[in-house]
Structure 1
Amino acid sequence: MVYARPKRDRRGRVLGTFDRYFMSQLLSLFGFFSLVLVGIYWINRALSLFDTLIQNGHSAAVFLEFSLLTLPGVIRLVLPISAFAATVYVTNRMREDSELVVAGATGFSPLRGARGVLAFSTIAALLTMILTHFLAPVATDRLATRTDQIAGDVTAGLLKEGRFLHPSPLITVFIRAIEDDGRIVSLMLSDRRNPEMQTLYTAESAYLVRREDGPKLLMFEGLAENLDTRTNRLGITRFEEFAFDVTELFDITGPGRRKLGQIPSATLLTEPARVIGESNRDREDIAMELHERTTQGLQTLIAPLLGFAIMMLGGFSRFSAWRQVLAAIVALIIYDLADNLASGLVNGRAALWPLLYLPTVLAGAAALGLLLQAGSSRRVAHGAAP
């Protein structure tokens, strides 16, 4: 007996085509909004990095490297917002262009339309998960390593002969000469960071040495002149040897112990003992870090669905759905505030980790409820029509 393969009906083909069209619109706007938001965040970070690095004598290549290493963390923060914005924008445009009306004539319902949004938000959530669990920690660790190297390699910004240098606004350094063996001859260092007690160091010789806790400037045979600006009294202290923490001269400092944010999730899961030794944190802290990273990805999954569900309220119309747009934005703000509140409540209380997922669960339930409400309202309207 030969069984004939059932053919897909016309309605199924139309809805499948509509799903592909809907997803293509969502993905294109998602890329656009992500590019714009990442650019805004990146420019803001790049300006501060430029002031810190270039003014301390580092090259443009170092500035570019640091800027690129900050991108994964920026993109991770932007993706949930851009996915939500793309969903609300595309849905609103399709309402105004009557595309949803045409789709509704083929059996399109709010719950059925959420299938395309769910596929889109799943792709966005996977990208966010990759960033939060792998790319962002790797980039953060590399950034911390390079920061430590630059903090130790201060010769570009400090060891220059015959010039008054200003590593920071309230620090002035002058070096008369530097010998081939690295010995500094005749050093002057003015420290005005404390407005009540300004100090002027002078030394016949000095060496710049690197230690585990950061670079130190070892000064020999010198004076420390302390001016008390409150009483205008000057105190002079002679020293044979004095160590000055050079990292205090720069805004860039070494990272010290590795932080959990610098370690990929795979390492947190497979090598917890080594992570505990490196970060000086316990297993509960590691578990909390993993939960927080996961909730960031889930936000990208749920936020577009919540925005789409609210946009489907009120029926299909060619008129502007500004009320739905405003309601969607307010819902996203409430969702974010609830997530921050849950993080604050769980902070330091690892046993309360399920609370981290509560805002996402509630937002998902709200999205489902709104979709069902929109579908039932539309069925009632169609049933009441003559």
Structure 2
Amino acid sequence: MGRYDRYILSQLLVLFSFFSIVLVSVYWVNRAVGLFDTLISDGQNLRVFLEFSALSLPQIILLVLPVSAFVAAIYVTNRMIGDSELVVMQTAGCSALRLLRPVWVFGIIAGLLIAILAHLLVPAARAQLMERSYEVSRDMTGRFLREGQFIHPTDGITVYIRAITELGEFRDVFLQDRSAPDVETTYTARRALLVSTEDGPRLVMFDGIAQNVDRASQRLSTVEFEDFTYDIAGLIEAPTGRILSIREMSTPALLLAPPAVAEAQGSTLAAFRFAGHDRIARSLFVIFVPVIAAATLMLGAFSRFGIWPQILLAVALIVPLQMTWNAAEAIGSRQEGMAHLAYLQPALAAAVAALMVTLSMRGSRRRGGAAA
């Protein structure tokens, strides 16, 4: 690569990194708000929230990288046109295809990043996220560790804890069990501890009273106890297993899985095949995104009023490509044998890029002839 190529490529990579950080931050904050409310309402701590947020970052990065590549190409090309750098290069005899060479290299780099994310990082992070989500859903401890609130961890169960000490001891515990159809039991205790066992969590209460009401006879029986163990796991049914998500499965598994595997995961073979091919198509599509942006901006000559028509045209060319993917995903993931539709978007992007490059080359020749 020549000095010009290295100069343009460095500008593209710097701005690509900047826009990626900005867009990832905005997208992450938007998702983190809902995630924070969900986890905190389930009694989880800040460490779990940060862990879940970190595991969701690869998927967010995968979504924003094509946008960052497009915006970076728009910004760099616009600045070069505004500073007359492209005009100087064209006057020196450089064709539009030669000027776009670093943009092609930039697109290939972005495609490689997308491929690494789609085939390796996103499935691995998604698998870890789903596993941790499954563990959190089974962990009933966090649902009880809230003081001063009446909570309902499941239907028919009401728990109130006045205070929780630094050692994790509960003070003044109220627990009402209405899960049985004919019996209502209310437990009150001065102290309690939540103990984890091999069979699940147990609530051990000390110095309390158990009030048992028979709804049929309306008879009340009261029992005082020094210590009593309440089986939380016996009343709250925890999930016994989980279904794998398509996002956490490897690409070879999606492309080669038999129909029985897809059915066992609650999906279809068509969805498996389309998801596998879509990961490959994503990395191909992003190669042409910056080329379309740069070549479209090179259609017009320098103007004091800017090149907003070319920028709007570049955006207008990208929007139908995204709509194409939406339509392909709707068909390919539902009908068997239509997984090849995943490559429709990159194929159209390649055609649009070739058209824009051809038009920009003709435009540069006309401007060069007029200048001569």
Q: TM-score by structure 2 length?
A: 0.76
Residue in structure 2 matched with residue 231 of structure 1 by the alignment:
none
Residues 52-61 or 277-286, more deviating: 277-286
CA distance change for structure 1 residues 163 and 90 in 2, over 3 Å: closer, same or farther? Answer: same
CA distance in 2, matches of 1:202, 1:94: 77
Residue in structure 2 matched with residue 325 of structure 1 by the alignment:
311
2:296 aligned with 1:314: no
Report deviation, 1:128. Answer: 0.9
CA distance change for structure 1 residues 106 and 62 in 2, over 3 Å: closer, same or farther? Answer: same
Report deviation, 1:175. Answer: 5.4
Residue in structure 1 matched with residue 2 of structure 2 by the alignment:
16
What SS does structure 1 have at the residue aligned with 2:299? coil
2:76 aligned with 1:94: no
Q: TM-score by structure 1 length?
A: 0.74
The structure 2 residue matched to 1:63, chosen from 40, 44, 49, is 49
Report deviation, 1:328. Answer: 1.1
Residue in structure 2 matched with residue 195 of structure 1 by the alignment:
none
Residue in structure 2 matched with residue 260 of structure 1 by the alignment:
246
Q: How does 1:227-376 map to 2 (within 5 A)?
A: 256-268=242-254, 276=262, 279-281=265-267, 283-317=269-303, 319-376=305-362
Q: Is the contact made by 1:302 and 1:364 (CA closer than 8 Å) also made in structure 2? A: yes
The structure 2 residue matched to 1:115, chosen from 101, 105, 110, is 101
Q: How does 1:69-84 map to 2 (within 5 A)?
A: 69-84=55-70
CA distance in 2, matches of 1:164, 1:317: 66
Residue identity matched to 1:91 = T
The structure 2 residue matched to 1:148, chosen from 134, 137, 141, is 134
Q: Is the contact made by 2:270 and 2:334 (CA closer than 8 Å) also made in structure 1? A: no
User: RMSD between aligned alpha carbons?
Assistant: 4.0
Residue in structure 1 matched with residue 185 of structure 2 by the alignment:
203
2:92 aligned with 1:106: yes
Residue in structure 2 matched with residue 188 of structure 1 by the alignment:
176
Residue identity matched to 1:165 = F
CA distance change for structure 1 residues 257 and 373 in 2, over 3 Å: closer, same or farther? Answer: same
CA distance change for structure 1 residues 367 and 269 in 2, over 3 Å: closer, same or farther? Answer: closer
Report deviation, 1:224. Answer: 11
What SS does structure 2 have at the residue aligned with 1:33? helix
CA distance change for structure 1 residues 221 and 190 in 2, over 3 Å: closer, same or farther? Answer: closer
| Structure 1 segments unaligned to the other structure (5+ residues) | 1-14, 178-184, 192-198, 226-235, 248-252
| Structure 2 segments unaligned to the other structure (5+ residues) | 163-172, 188-193, 204-209, 219-230
CA distance in 2, matches of 1:83, 1:288: 25
Residue in structure 2 matched with residue 174 of structure 1 by the alignment:
159
CA distance change for structure 1 residues 167 and 315 in 2, over 3 Å: closer, same or farther? Answer: farther
CA distance change for structure 1 residues 129 and 210 in 2, over 3 Å: closer, same or farther? Answer: farther
Q: Is the contact made by 1:163 and 1:174 (CA closer than 8 Å) also made in structure 2? A: no
CA distance change for structure 1 residues 47 and 281 in 2, over 3 Å: closer, same or farther? Answer: closer
CA distance change for structure 1 residues 221 and 319 in 2, over 3 Å: closer, same or farther? Answer: same
CA distance in 2, matches of 1:210, 1:175: 22
CA distance change for structure 1 residues 154 and 21 in 2, over 3 Å: closer, same or farther? Answer: same
Deviations 1:153-173 (A, max 9, x none): 12122267x854336899982
Deviations 1:258-281 (A, max 9, x none): 122111224445776895486255
The structure 2 residue matched to 1:130, chosen from 92, 110, 116, is 116
Residue in structure 1 matched with residue 24 of structure 2 by the alignment:
38
What SS does structure 2 have at the residue aligned with 1:100? helix
Residues 313-322 or 338-347, more deviating: 313-322
Residue in structure 1 matched with residue 221 of structure 2 by the alignment:
none
What SS does structure 2 have at the residue aligned with 1:77? helix
Q: Is the contact made by 1:309 and 1:371 (CA closer than 8 Å) also made in structure 2? A: yes
CA distance change for structure 1 residues 340 and 186 in 2, over 3 Å: closer, same or farther? Answer: same
CA distance in 1, matches of 2:176, 2:289: 58
CA distance in 1, matches of 2:214, 2:131: 34
Q: Is the contact made by 1:201 and 1:222 (CA closer than 8 Å) also made in structure 2? A: yes
What SS does structure 1 have at the residue aligned with 2:144? coil
Residue identity matched to 1:188 = Q
Report deviation, 1:296. Answer: 2.0
What SS does structure 2 have at the residue aligned with 1:107? coil
CA distance in 2, matches of 1:90, 1:171: 62
Q: Is the contact made by 1:91 and 1:311 (CA closer than 8 Å) also made in structure 2? A: yes
What SS does structure 2 have at the residue aligned with 1:51? helix
Residue identity matched to 2:292 = L
CA distance in 2, matches of 1:28, 1:224: 73
